[in-house]
A and B are shown apart, each in its own frame.
Chain A
Amino acid sequence: MALLEVENLKVEFPTRKGVLTAVDNVSFNVEQGEILGVVGESGAGKSMTGAAVIGLLEPPGRIGGGQIRLDGKRIDNLSPDEMRKVRGRHIGAIFQDPLTSLNPLFTVGEQLVETIRTHLPMSAAEARKRAIGWLAEVGIPAPDRRFDQYPHQFSGGMRQRVVIALALCAEPRLIIADEPTTALDVSVQAQIIALLKRVCRERNAAAILVTHDMGVIAETADRVAVMYAGRLAEIGPVAHVLQKPSHPYTAGLMGSIPRVGPRPERLIQIEGSMPRLTDIPTGCAFNPRCPKVFAECHRVRPELRPVADGAAACLLYEGVTP
């Protein structure tokens, strides 16, 4: 059984213009110790998916359907109190901006000790020892001195290391990392990715890595899910999805990323932009921008079908003839 099973997840936002569906019928599994990348452009629903799993959807956002199971037990219908016990203990979270994830009024050590003691039965002294151990583990020099410092005394990269320590200190089996490196400089970004990979591997923790950066996915993830307009366009092993994408959207996305090497005259471009949630076209959501579009695409919504080692939601793979 997979560690995390997400089945037909729907995230909705009631608005004055009606109910908007930000995540529409998304299903995927995360295996023990696996890093699943979730990519997509802004508004694709990738952060919403992560927030739904960890139970941190901002109201009025709500889960409108489907199930989320951790170790076979449903966690999507837990009360806020029950969910709070799952969060931190079983699922850790890392967010984009390390400064807003840390409380500026408490020392880094106090925050770590609080998290550890909330979830694990430990004395204050034991928790302190463990917290210092975690600071060392995430590569913070002089951890026993840094323990008593406040977040503002840390640089951006060091802060993100503290956030990683906080997410991992109760030894959760799943980590949701939402754009963990986006606020960091490139040279620090590489350090944080390497750290995240190492601690996940050593603790056998699984991770859902939400990002818009294909480079981060290529470096880190085992499998990748590509989202478009709230739906899964494609999911599969990283090498397969990045190098031989099945879905025309993934192919366009990969082509539009500038690369180092011989300089082309033009980048491949996908015309237009992703539709707003208020006017997602019928049929395949990608049809107005798709270079391979045919008549059926405007009518039939494609389901996720197995293609090669992965799966893609595209009528080209449903035996529909153009």
Chain B
Amino acid sequence: MNAAPIAGTGQPLLQVKGLKKHFAMAKPFLNRLLEGGEQQTVKAVDGLDLEIPRGQTLSLVGESGCGKSTVARLIMGLSNPSGGSILFDGADISRAPAGQPADIRRRMQMIFQDPYASLNPRWRVADIIAEPLRTYGMCASRQDERREVDRLLEFVGLNARDGDKFPHEFSGGQRQRISIARAISTKPEFLVCDEPTSALDVSVQAQILNLMREMQRELGLTYLFISHDLAVVNFMSDWIGVMYLGRLVEVSPAAELFANPQHPYTRLLLDTIPDLGMSKRDRQPAAGEVPNPINPPPGCHFHPRCALANERCRSEAPVLRMYDGGVRASCHAVEEGRAIEPIVAQASAVHPLRAAV
């Protein structure tokens, strides 16, 4: 596979090579024995290559089931990869046991989607934020620790007095600020943010996104940002990776991806962004849905929904290739120059789910 560096300057903070996660989806043993049937696997992540330069943001976008959250969990060591490597600052952490090596895990933290589920309701906020500090023994005394917690609370826009309260006393946006304070308490360099604003209202989402951009500027953080909302991704990212059924179909500089999308699936996604300026326009929405990941289409997974699909697409899986402007796309049509025309992936006759809207 080609893992060409996506930015020329220095060693990237995070490098992922050929990352795989396969889940066994077989029927129970006895059923298999009696009824026949084979072991089935879902290739949630199927050979993923990406790199994130220091101080920058790479976002993964895609529809549900494309494997973007699995990538986040693999990188954080919350789940063991089935193959491939994860290099953080040059060190391979893909085979390390959970929480190890501690000096590297301290430098990577995560913000979760649902601030109602990711904070322990029985703990006071100060304890929630101090837990990572205690785990890594970063504060000499309780006074030290409390001072640090107060500083963090104020840094994320809360009040130092809020440390004595419980999570239920806060709104969704404030809870997400608490999660952020906890995540940055160990002074990490790298944050994985898995849909951090999807559970929030838009006016609160803007506050959290602004806070995350400020943090990146002030603390020099590197982000892996995961979202299904392309407009949010546009605001946050330097790089965008588009995933479809466990594979990256395109990785490009953010501006390039929006101005000049290459892969037909990227174009489909961009076409679904509602246009706030031009109301009541009649769109021709792309037909079909994401197929079942247990039995994805052969060749290019996207071919049943793709207007440019031909025989090669149906049999041979494309690999990521480098194009001008730092764009990488895995598409035979792009490679062969068949995708030059601006296309809208339309209902194609080959797809069984073809829906006449």
Contacts and interface: CB of A to CB of B under 8 A. Distances in A.
Interface of A: 41-42, 139-141, 155-158, 161, 185-191, 193-195, 197-198, 212-216, 218-222, 238-239, 242-243, 252-261, 263-271, 273-274
Interface stretch (B89-97, B126-134, B182-190, B283-291): B283-291
Contacts of B276: 214-215, 218, 242, 254, 257, 259
B210 A194 contact: no
Q: Which 4 A-B pairs have the closest CB atoms?
A: A215-B274, A256-B206, A190-B285, A41-B201
Interface in B264-319: 268-283, 285-290
Nearest to B232: A258
B279 A185 contact: no
Given A263-B234, A264-B235, A274-B203, 12 more contacts: A156-B289, A185-B63, A187-B286, A190-B283, A212-B201, A219-B274, A254-B276, A258-B231, A261-B258, A263-B255, A267-B206, A273-B173
Interface stretch (B12-20, B98-106, B347-355): B347-355
B171 interface: yes
**B interface, over-half SS:** loop
24 contacts: A42-B201, A155-B353, A185-B63, A185-B64, A189-B272, A190-B283, A191-B286, A197-B282, A212-B202, A215-B275, A218-B277, A219-B281, A238-B280, A239-B280, A252-B203, A256-B202, A257-B202, A259-B234, A267-B235, A269-B206, A269-B210, A270-B206, A271-B207, A273-B173
Nearest to A220: B280
B202 A194 contact: no
Contacts of A139: 355-357
A254 to B, nearest CB: 7
Interface in B212-255: 213, 228-232, 234-235, 254-255
A260 B202 contact: no
Nearest to A241: B279
B204 interface: yes
A216 B255 CA distance: 24
Contacts of A264: 235
B296 to A, nearest CB: 15
Contacts of A274: 201, 203
A203 B124 CA distance: 56
Given A256-B206, A257-B231, A194 B279 contact: no
B205 interface: yes
Contacts of B209: 258, 267
A274 B282 CA distance: 34
Sort chain B's interface into a size bin.
Answer: 35 or more
A194 B357 contact: yes
A190 B285 CA distance: 6
Nearest to A215: B274
Contacts of A242: 276-277, 279
A140 to B, nearest CB: 8
A212 B281 CA distance: 20
Nearest to B274: A215
Contacts of B287: 191
B235 A218 contact: no
Contacts of A266: 210, 213
A302 to B, nearest CB: 20
B204 A273 contact: yes
Q: Which of B202, B288, B356 has the most CB of A within 10 A?
A: B202
Given A191-B285, A260-B258, A269-B210, A253 B228 contact: no
A216 B283 CA distance: 12
Contacts of B203: 41, 252-253, 256, 269-270, 273-274
Nearest to A222: B280
Contacts of B272: 186-187, 189-190
Indicate the member of A141, A158, A216, A222 with the most B CB atoms within 10 Å: A141
B279 A239 contact: yes
Contacts of A256: 202-203, 205-206
Nearest to B271: A190
Contacts of A156: 289
Nearest to A267: B206
Contacts of B254: 263
Given A198-B357, A239-B279, A41 B289 contact: no
A259 B209 CA distance: 13
A23 to B, nearest CB: 18
Contacts of B273: 186, 215, 260
B84 to A, nearest CB: 27
A157 B41 CA distance: 25
Contacts of B355: 139-141, 157, 161, 191
B62 to A, nearest CB: 9
Contacts of B230: 186, 260
Given A141-B353, A242-B279, A187 B206 contact: no
A186 B357 contact: no
Contacts of B172: 273
B268 A187 contact: yes
Contact of A263 (B228, B235, B268, B288): B235
A255 B269 CA distance: 23
Nearest to A259: B231
Nearest to A265: B213
A141 B352 contact: yes
A195 B357 CA distance: 6
A73 B254 CA distance: 55
A213 B278 CA distance: 15
